[in-house]
Amino acid sequence: MIHVSKITLAAICCIFMLGGMSHAFAQEGAMTDTVITHSSDGIFSSTASYTFQVNSTFKNTEVGKVSYIVTTEAGKKMKSDSVKVKIGGHGSGSYDFDIAGLQPGFYKINFMVNVAGENDGYDDTLRKAFGIKPSQITSQYGKPADFESFWHNARLELDKVNPEYKVTEIPDTAKNDKRRVFKVEMKSIDGLVIRGFLTEPINHNKNKKFAVLLGLPGYQVTLGPMVGNDPDVAIFTLNIRGSGYSRDVINVRRETYIVLDLEDKNKYILRGAVMDCVRAVDFICSRPELRHDNIIAAGGSLGGFLAIATSGIDKRINFCSAANPIFSDVRNLIHEVDWPFIDIRKYVNTRPGLTMDKVMDNLDYFDAKNFASDIECPTLVGIGLVDNIAPPNNVYTLYNGIRAPKHIIIFRDLGHEIGKKYSIYEGRWMRDTFALF
């Protein structure tokens, strides 16, 4: 069954939000604590500044301390401090903390309150993250010398495959949305069939041509047809090989997908997946009713990676939107996140002769930051400061490498997701870039 969705593509992969206010209740009363970040996006030019507030409805005085610990994203302790506190019955306290002397980068900070009273006590931890001069973040690792030629050869190989486009209209699927919906099948590199869905506004002007939003999937996400209210924009959602509606030949467990043929960069699953995205652009450019100079590649998580990679390889992309793009600065990422490296290490251990050094050499060709410097179109990036899959340090390494017009939207208290502000900005910038007034 095909599911038609009215959602945008700005945050396909959404997990959770951390931070804010915490509550604890006891028989005699309660305490609440709040951390106020003195920066709307958590970015500071030098000194990070916070206020920790505590409110008590206990009858008795509570005595203890408020403290913080700052660590790198990889967990290395950088700074800590504490202050003694005394909260009177039905009282409150406010404590300022300034964290100075840190190098450019992103850091995690845990605020802890530990107090005890005559009849009860209170303990809590609030977690935040902040950045210091992120525009100065760079990676010590460069791209392979043959990076561009590797992908050029992949593109030549794709060009030898006859796409054999098959377009089938799905009647009445989006009748109430005034859109026509088409199922699309085509052959990509290795001769694999991949599928997607094209939705077009119904328009009686035969000369009308639509700008195109190419929606790219998150990790193992199934993308059905997507419809919207914009009469000027067609939407093509792609299911890459081994994902969603394109699982005929490659149909593996979730944890297996990311390691398929990892020992050979010329067979690795992401090489084919990126070429699937290029083939999707080929399809868009084969349609006379679509604008071939107004194509936005958009996605979140793995879709964000695919948007960056496709935009770096294929200059027909005119606008790139990448929310929480994964797989950036992989040689540093291995020290900062569990996934996908838990699955990668398991895979290496089952392959005699395969080493992590060999794997990392191969992954250099699929590092999102290595595509970034080849992007020539306007690019929008979104990040959450407490993202434990696409950490801000790594995403900023990618972002700083983009030489085209760019903008980043930071969500101070979000994890692997972005907020509504992103999709609004994305839509306005896209319409401005494509002159859709």
Per-residue pLDDT at 176: 60
Whether a cis peptide bond, with omega within 30° of 0, leads into 163 is: no
Distances from the Cα of 260 to the Cα of 221, 273, 280, angstroms: 17, 12, 22
126 CB neighbour count, 10 Å cutoff: 20
* Contact criterion met (CB below 8 Å) for 395 and 381: yes
Q: What are phi and psi of 154, to 5 degrees?
A: -65, -40
Selection from 17, 126, 3, 4 nearest residue 420 by Cα: 17
Per-residue pLDDT at 411: 98
pTM of the model: 0.91
Alpha-carbon 316 to chain mean position: 22
The continuous run of DSSP H or E covering 210 comes out as: strand 210-216
Per-residue pLDDT at 290: 98
Helix, strand or coil for residue 286? helix
Domains parsed from the chain with CATH numbers: 21-136 (2.60.40.10), 147-433 (3.40.50.1820)
Bridge partners, residue 168, by sequence: 183
Per-residue pLDDT 10s for the chain (437 aa) are 555 544 443 333 332 232 333 333 334 578 889 999 999 999 999 999 999 999 988 888 889 999 999 999 989 999 999 999 998 888 899 999 999 999 999 999 999 999 887 656 788 999 999 999 999 999 999 999 999 999 999 999 999 999 999 999 998 765 566 899 999 999 999 999 999 999 999 988 888 999 999 999 999 999 999 988 899 999 999 999 999 999 999 999 999 999 999 999 999 999 999 999 999 999 999 999 999 999 999 999 999 999 999 999 999 999 999 999 999 999 999 988 999 999 999 999 999 999 999 999 999 999 999 999 999 999 999 999 999 999 999 999 999 999 999 999 999 999 999 999 999 999 999 999 999 97
- The residue to which tokens 């916070």 are assigned: 50
8 CB neighbour count, 10 Å cutoff: 22
